[in-house]
Amino acid sequence: MSAGGIHTSDPTTGAAPDTLPATRWIEGTPSLHRITSDISRPMEAKPGRGWWICFALASAAVLNLLGMVGYLFAKGIGIWGLNNAVGWAFDITNFVFWIGIGHAGTLISAILLLFRQKWRTSINRSAEAMTIFAVMCAGLFPLIHMGRPWDAFFIFPYFPNQRGPLWVNFRSPLVWDVFAISTYFTISLVFWYLGMIPDLATLRDRAVGGIKKFVFRILSLGWNGSQRTWSRYEIVSLVLAALATPLVLSVHSIVSTDFATSLVPGWHTTIFPPYFVAGAIYSGFGMVLTLLIITRQTMHLERYITVNHLEAMAKVTLLTGSLVGYAYATEFFNAWYSGNVHERFHFINRATGPYAWCFYLMVLCNVLTPQVLWWKRARRSVPLLFVVSILVNVGMWFERFVIIVVGLHRNFLPSAWGMFYPTVFDIGILVGVFGLFFSLFLLFIRALPMIAMWEVKGVSNG
């Protein structure tokens, strides 16, 4: 069938995505104007009741977060369940979890751009937004887990200082984190903003004046859509993409060194960098799926975020999920193969100790669940994908929890063994950060084009 066909191809029976003609990444053939108006509708129309409910819940969680963090700063880390045996638990678990979430965005927009993957066009904008919000959430934890944020500036190597000067410990992975994450955040932000400029210009032109027009005029940096602008724009995007690509791998590799460079059994492992990157992309795609499935329903963008997109992401999820499963197996094998009494004990304890249920939950969610995606039907069933994506998020959170807490609570000296029990503040802050993330995202889909119009137009069949 010709690409110019009027009728919309039925996803289930229609042309197989992998045979020519290429999968159509938009339902139907909307006119370019139609695309613009469809995508900018959420920004121009009044928000619906669904949006308001979600936003109310999310911002309630944010208020709770503010309260609890305030109390934390006043009272100290003692209000958490941490103790002499377990020095990190929910705090760093959340940190690694959110950093992981922050991976899909740049992967999609940078790597897929370089690989000329057309299906990225309608999801990259929101994925990038998600990345930025996730990194913001992640960045919160290194700060609050010290309990005294006013001293946090010690971690920056600044000069001049009164101390002689006294610098930081460049051997410490926490210092590497500071650089890795701030770099990642900056690049992602720039990339995201740059990608929006043409659309911002469009919005500027659509805006009927007033404050909105003013803001968009500033933000679109006087974009004029000329041939020259476009060609330079394309070049800059490619350059930035090339810059961002290594970061996708570096950030989580470095985060993983927080554990890999220590000598805690279960942390001290060489496979951590690739294993963490895979896990990060896995969880990132899980979150993208969750968000897009919700928004395409509520914002009526099924036309642009098609089942084909979802399927493509499902495939990545399946791949990375299997990688993660493989990593789990490798860890156990190495523990046995090393013959190290502490390593061996750690993994026996992981599978049979007091936190075994977390371990099995994690295996269930991360290794078994994605296997259903071997079936095309499963990959194209939106409700199923939604369930899978949620489970993936749960599983990945527990993965970090298992690594951190099981590693700490029983290691070298049995006399120092302990248990970690979360307090209401641990849980409250966990929930609160989800609230923060979602309220940011909800605001985003209201304030900015959540789909890159100009790119979608590029793949439209109109």
Partner 1 sequence: MSRRPTCDEAMPRGDGHDAPLVQIGLPTGARSTGFEATRRDVLSLMGFSLGAIGLGAGCRAPVQHAVPLPSASTEMVPGVPNLYATTCGGCGASCGLVVKQRDGRPIKIEGNEASPLTGGGTCAAGQASVLSLYDDARLRGPVWLGNAVSWSEIDRHITTMLGGGGSDRRAIVLLSPTINSPSTRAVLADFRTRFPGFRHVVHDPMSLAALREANRLAFGAAVVPHFHFDRARVVVALEADFLGTWLAPVEFSRQWARRRTADGTRGFHVQCEAGLSVTGSNADLRLAVAPSELGTVAVALLAAVARRVNDAGLAALNATGLGQTAPHAAAIDRVADALARHRGESLVVTGSDDVATQLVVGKLNALLGNIGGADGPIDLARPSLQAQGDDAGVPALIDDMNRGAVSALIIWGANPVYDHPDGLAFRKALGRVPLTISFADRRDETSAHVHALCPDHHFLESWGDAEPVSGHFSLAQPLIAPLHDTRAGAESLLAWAAPAAGAAGAGKPADHRLYLRDFWRRALYPRAATAAGFDDFWERTLERGVVELPGPAVQTHAFAGDWQGAVRDIVTRASRAGTDHGGYELALHETVGARDGRHANNPWLLELPDPITRLTWGNVASIAPATAAALGVATGDVVTLTTETGKLELPAFVQPGQDRRTISVAVGYGRWAAGKAGDGIGANVYPLARVENGVRRYAARVNVAKAGRRARLAPAQTHFSMEGRDIVQSLTLASLEHEHEHEHEELPNLWRERLHGAHAWGMSIDLDACTGCSACVVACQSENNVPVVGAEQVRKSRIMHWLRIDRYFDGDGEDATTVHQPMMCQHCQHAPCETVCPVLATTTSSEGINQQVYNRCIGTRYCANNCPYKVRRFNWHNYTANDDFPYNMTSPLGRLVLNPDVTVRSRGVMEKCNLCVQRVQLGKNQALLQRRPLADGDVATACQQACPTGAIVFGDLADAGSRVSKLLAGRRAYRVLDDLGTRPNVGYLKKIELKEKA
Partner 2 sequence: MRLRGIVFGFVVLGAGGGLLARGATRIGVHQGYAPEQPIAFPHKVHAGDNKIACLYCHSAARTSRHAGIPSASVCMNCHALLEKQTTAIQRLKEAVQQERPIAWTKVHNLPDFVYFNHSQHVVSGVACQRCHGAVEQMDRIEQAAPLTMGWCLGCHRAEAHVPTSTFARVAANVRGRPTPFAGEDCTSCHY
Residues that bind partner 2 (CB under 8 A): 158, 160-166
For the residues of 269-290, what is the DSSP string, one character each?
-TTHHHHHHHHHHHHHHHHHHH
Of 140 and 278, nearer to partner 1 (C-beta) is 140
- Closest distance between partner 1 and the C-beta of residue 434, in Å? 24
User: In the complex with partner 2, which residue's Cβ is closer, 166 or 263?
Assistant: 166
Q: Is-contact 139 117, C-beta < 8 A?
A: no
Comparing CB distances to partner 1, the nearer of 156 and 375 is 156
Q: How far is the CB of 167 from partner 1 (least distance, A)?
A: 8
Helices 424-447 and 124-144: crossing angle, nearest 10°? Answer: 150
| 114 touching partner 1, by CB under 8 A | no
Q: How far apart are CA 394 and CA 382, in angstroms?
A: 19
Residue 250 vs 261, nearer CB to partner 1: 261
Q: How many binding residues for partner 1 (CB under 8 A)?
A: 51
3-state secondary structure of 124: helix
Binding of partner 1 by 94 (CB under 8 A):
no
Partner from partner 2, partner 1, none contacting 459, C-beta within 5 to 8 A by type: none
Stretch that binds partner 1, among 95-103, 279-287, 290-298, 416-424 (CB under 8 A): 416-424
Question: What is the secondary structure of 299-311 as a DSSP string?
Answer: TT-TTTS-HHHHH
Spell out the alpha helix ranges (H) of 121-172. Answer: 124-144
- Nearer to partner 1 (CB atom), residue 5 or residue 147: 147
* H helix or E strand, kind and range, residue 173: helix 173-206
Options 25-33, 46-54, 128-136, 417-425: segment touching partner 1 (CB under 8 A): 417-425
- List Cα–Cα distances, 409 to 1, 146, 163, 178, 267, in angstroms: 62, 20, 37, 27, 12
Contacts with partner 1 in 148-167 (CB under 8 A)?
A: 148, 150-155, 166-167
Residue 235 and residue 194 in contact, taking contact as beta carbons nearer than 8 Å: no
Write the interaction track for partner 1 spanning residues 37-66; mark x where CB under 8 A is met and - where it is not: ------------------------------
Residue environment code for 11-46, b if the CB has 16+ CB neighbours within 10 A, otherwise e: beeebebeeeeebbbbbebbeeeebbebbbebbeee
Answer for which of 418, 424, 427, 447 binds partner 1 (CB under 8 A) is: 418
Q: Which amino acid is at 386?
A: F
What phi and psi values does residue 88 have, to the nearest 5 degrees? -130, 140
CB 177 within 8 A of CB 142: yes
Closest contact distance (angstroms) between CB of 387 and partner 1 is 35
215 is a contact residue toward partner 1 (CB under 8 A): no
Q: What angle do CA 364, 334, 401 make, to 5 degrees?
A: 40
As given in the structure block, the two tokens for residue 236 are 């800059």
Determine, following the binding rule CB under 8 A, whether residue 95 of this chain makes contact with partner 1. no
Q: Considering CB distances under 5 to 8 angstroms, the limit depending on partner class, which of partner 2, partner 1, none binds residue 228?
A: none
165 binds, among partner 2, partner 1, none (CB under 5 to 8 A by kind): partner 2
CB of 116 to partner 2, least distance (A): 38
Nearer to partner 1, 141 or 276 (CB): 141
Nearer residue to partner 2 within complex by CB, 160 or 414: 160
Of partner 2, partner 1, none, which one does residue 435 interact with (CB within 5 to 8 Å by kind)?
none
Residues 62-91 that bind partner 1 (CB under 8 A): 75-78, 81-85, 87-88
Binding mask 302-341 for partner 1 (x = CB under 8 A): ---------------------------------------x
Side chain identity, residue 61: A
Whole-number Å distance between alpha carbons of 256 and 95: 12
Q: How many other β-carbons are positioned within 10 Å of the β-carbon of residue 206?
A: 15
Contact footprint for partner 1 (CB under 8 A): 75-78, 81-85, 87-88, 142, 145-148, 150-155, 166-169, 171-175, 178, 258, 261-264, 341-342, 345, 408, 410-419
